[in-house]
Structure 1
Amino acid sequence: MKGLVCLLLLLEAFVCVIQHQVDGGLNENEISQQLRSEDGGQNTPQTDTLRYEASTDSQQNYHLFFTDIHAALRELTATVTEQKTNIRELTATVTEQKTINRELIATVTEQKTINRELIATVTEQKTNIRALETQLREQQTFILEEMNKKDDEISNLTLSQVEELRKENREREIAFSAGLIQSGSDYIGPFTSEITLSYRNVFTNIGNAYNPITGIFTAPLKGAYMFRISVFSHGPTHSAASIFKNGERVVLAYAGQPQSELNSSNGAVLILEVGDVVYVKLWSGTRIYDNDNSHSTFSGFLLFPLREQELCRM
């Protein structure tokens, strides 16, 4: 833009100089005198003709020169005007682009802030994860140490301790079951008073706590025991038998039938001290029947042993 303005100024100055030369230049007399001096005064008619032709050509040349200068100036002026318009458009575009750039810079700055916050959050999470991993490793180490201690304790058990545990377990193996009649078939009863029944057909007597001669079970171990009886007979009759603990009735199995077979059963869980006794009594005025099929039975077994404090809670 500055170059075009300088060019216009130079052209205007040149035009002014040419105009001044034309206005203050040689007149016809000077031209004629110059021609005469050159020709030495000879051929006056030709000189006049030449002087006229020279003057005419000079005027034509000046006119053409000024016409070209004005045309060039107009073109330059139009070009400068167009360049000014282009410059204004470029200026507007640059301004708009600067605004967009500022918005982009603001967006990038905001994004950088968000990225820094995310990086800080991720760093914090990594720190927390490392702390959790450290705690987990410590817990695993502690568990392994405890397991190794337990393994050492188990491996340090002596043969006497193992034997003692076996003995204790054998003492806890208490169970019996027996039928009323050892062989054949028979009725027992009726009697005018209750009698203790002796179940002589022993199926099982682990721990030998049941006496088939007396029909009495004696508790060798403090604990919770399960007992059960079944009674059977033929009508017309009544059959009734009760489980007793240390002389006290606990449960009764009773059945009455005018004809055909009759049966009943009952049971209970009892807490026994060492030496407590359990047995079955037949009611007075009733009878019970049994044969090789063992319809009438008495059974019991240890559910689990009890310690002294457990009995106190109960």
Structure 2
Amino acid sequence: MLVTLYILVSMVGVHSATVSILTDEISQNKTNPNINEISAKNVDVFRQLMNQETIIRINLVKNVHALMKDMLTLQEKMVETEGEISRVKTTTYQEISELKKQVEFLKAENAALKNKTAVDEKEIMILKENLENVSNTLTDVKVEVRYLSISIFGMNDDSKEIDKRLQELENSTKEIENEVRMNDKNNAATLSDLEKRQLTLIDDLKNTTSSLRGDFGDYETNQLKISATISSLELFRINQTLSKCDPKQNVAFTAGVTSQSTTWNSGTLIFDKVILNVGNGYNPSTGIFTSPVAGTFVFYVTAVEYSKQDLYVDIVLNSVSKVRTMGYSDAAYQTGTNMVILNLQKGDSVWVRHYSGKGYYTSSAPVTTFTGFLVE
């Protein structure tokens, strides 16, 4: 910029030293410019150029300051963005870790359910075989009862025939007695022989009748025993059938934990001490209740936190949380309780799952418990 100013000043000086020849090269006609006036003009031009340069410098300085301020702001925003990215990464890693835990937990539950399904299938097969055996035995018993009934009916016919013959014998005896009375004393010996023969025949018939009636009584007794056995077998078969298909059978359980923990912080809370388990729906090995029937159930959980450690647990249905308990660490051994009523289908699963905090407390008589029962 200064070089440019110097060149302009030099050009002005050169032009001011020139002479204009107007006519005939006569010195009187030569025009000499006013050097003072030209110098004043040059000074004004120089001042204007200097003012413009100053303005340009000031604007450049302002622009540089604004640019530096923008760079500082950009740096601050970049730092904030990097912090936010770091927080997002940390949160993402935590969520991924939690999802991995959930996947492992679901895999374990799936394996447990598969094992339980295999065991249930084996039990069902054994029960079917037992029912088939009972049905076959019952069929055989019914056949034997039919044969016995036919035999008893035949004996009834024989007994009626014997009674008929006895009646005929009595009538014959009366006729003989009448005939004997009509004979004279000469026939006394013959009458005596006939009476002896009559008495012998009557005794034989009475003995035969008594024996037949005894046998008939034994058959009746055996028939009653067989009928009782059949009734017992039928009742057993009905009970076995109803225990598997009656939708209104009783289902209820209560279980507790037998030992406390200060570090438990994930997964299913396993209540390993079974107090009641009607219907065998609760599994103390997995802590999971599997509904044997469809219906409306009530579930209740009590969880005691361990010495000022927060404890939150959920009652979950098929891995979906339904209600939550809260044991807050404001004081030691705070108790969290909650209850829920659920409509379950046969095969649905309900258990207690960790949500937050760690550890739980119990005693010899369980204070951390899980209860459920069928209401309809």
TM bucket (normalised to shorter chain) is 0.3 to 0.5
TM-score normalized by structure 1? 0.41
Structure with bigger gyration radius: 1
More helix per residue: 2
| Structure with more contact order per residue of length (Cα contacts < 8 Å, sep ≥ 6) | 1
